[in-house]
Amino acid sequence: MFDTLNRHMLSPYGGPDWIQTPNFQRLAERTAVFDNSYIGSMPCMPARRELHTGRYNFLHRSWGPLEPFDDSAIEMLGEAGVYTHLITDHQHYWEDGGGTYHPRYASFELIRGQEGDPWKGEVRNPDGLSLEGLHPIARKMYRQDRINRQYMRKEEQFPQAQTFSGGLEFIELNHEEDNWYLQLETFDPHEPFFSPEQYKKLYAHDYKGPLGDWPIYGPVTETPEDVRHMRFEYAALLTMCDHYLGKVLDVMDRLDLWKDTLLIVNTDHGFLLGEHDQWAKCVQPFYNEVAHTPLFIWDPRTGVQGERRQSLVQTIDLPATLLDYFGVGLPKDMQGQPLRRTIETDEPIREGALFGIHGGHVNVTDGRYVYMRAAANADNRPLYNYTLMPTHMRSRFHPQELQNIELANPFSFTKQIQTLKIPARTWGNLHAFGTLLYDVHNDPQQKSQLQDSKIEARMLSLMKQLMRENEAPDEQYERLGISSS
């Protein structure tokens, strides 16, 4: 699993010739390649909650841990006798908002140093570091990131290199055993786009501007030269990811793991690199560059390789696929579906896919159209978190956030447990973008909004159907200015 892997920059998905991803091309020749894979709950830990539970969570809460009532597919595999191991440099796992994920594995190894991870302790500021004008959280992260980089002089010291080294070590040690699951997960190519010099040399360019390798989320205010530079920085890190993917394919070949080993290569979301005049994600609608994801699966039961699949699939289908592969029954609250039949025959498993971030647009696609429904009012209310684990990404809920909590009636998936109902805050001002409709077959880059009342009505009906199936709280319909029926 990669984080922030841009589908449209990979050669199997028609990526530009100047970006070098030969091992992704090699991967495509050995797997079923999904052309209609979409995100679900955003961003990082909401997506990983889906990887455990196989159900959407963005309509009920923001970023947070697994809840006491959540069914973890990883934990279920362990209970069924499958040995599970996680190796990752994804630093959000050891923050407040991710602390319940990695203990679900039988064993885990956490590699330090990514994206301002509070890893190495130095009191003095690094030389030449300017933090003026930055948000306090950004100042802290930028400073820590600059310190961490001082301990990554050689490629083998980079977190991604260590992560793949550990994953390959696990495979070498255990490949003759049966019933094991390895989650080899790297934070790259997530920002900051920091990579060893040998990868940067592949994209050498003259640049004397101020922009480094870490864009600020929001509108592009920089020059076209700055945007070009940032794309080169991302491409260098992407090629590093491709290199280490090749090492996994090498060991699959050498040990003949293809005969009995399921391989899934996926991501949680993409990233805007100046498209739509925007940087990053979450503070703008989830355009295709973010929402439309790459997905490659080799299932040795099917023998399907080098073929494309058009059926609409999502992150929630991956835990169902894992449980099915190991012969473990799916929990009743799981919304995702196993992908074996889809891999075999391109059998559809859903009419539509719901996706979004808590408090943002609620989005739906049928594979042809994408409908993005904005909040009806600028205050984006009413909006609540439903949780028994009141934590944000890097902090617990603050006492002032808990002054007006209520106990909510149980949802069917909370196992008769009442949850806290807590007034919620949101990301940015997504209301200002308005409601959007696109034909992504004829306009995959979403450059022209579609004005068609019949299509909008059909997509709205599909969105409401999926919201009902997910037991969206009543106020979500009110927030969007729509009825629940």
Orientation of helix 44-53 relative to helix 317-325, angle to 10° = 40
Token pair recorded at residue 96: 């407040």
pLDDT at 129: 84
pLDDT at 72: 98
Task: Tell me how far apart the alpha carbons of residues 234 and 230 are, in angstroms, rounded to a whole number.
Answer: 6
Cis peptide upstream of residue 189 (ω within 30 degrees of 0): yes
Task: Tell me how far apart the alpha carbons of residues 278 and 296 are, in angstroms, rounded to a whole number.
Answer: 28
pLDDT at 473: 98
Task: Tell me how far apart the alpha carbons of residues 372 and 374 are, in angstroms, rounded to a whole number.
Answer: 6
Alpha helix positions (H), 35-110: 44-53, 73-79
Return all residues near 299 (Cβ < 8 A) that are at least 6 apart. 32, 262, 325, 339, 340, 343
Secondary structure of the chain: what % helix, strand, coil (to 5)?
35, 15, 50
Q: What is the mean pLDDT of each run of 10 residues along the chain (485 residues)?
A: 98 98 98 98 98 98 98 98 98 96 98 97 89 80 95 98 98 98 98 98 94 94 96 98 98 98 98 98 98 98 98 98 98 98 98 98 98 97 97 96 97 98 89 97 97 98 98 98 96
Q: What is the four-CA torsion angle of 11, 17, 18, 23, rounded to 10 degrees? A: 30
pLDDT at 427: 73
Q: Is the pTM of this model over 0.75?
A: yes
Q: Beta-carbon neighbour count of residue 381 at 10 Å?
A: 16
For residue 138, give the amino acid letter: A
pLDDT at 425: 85
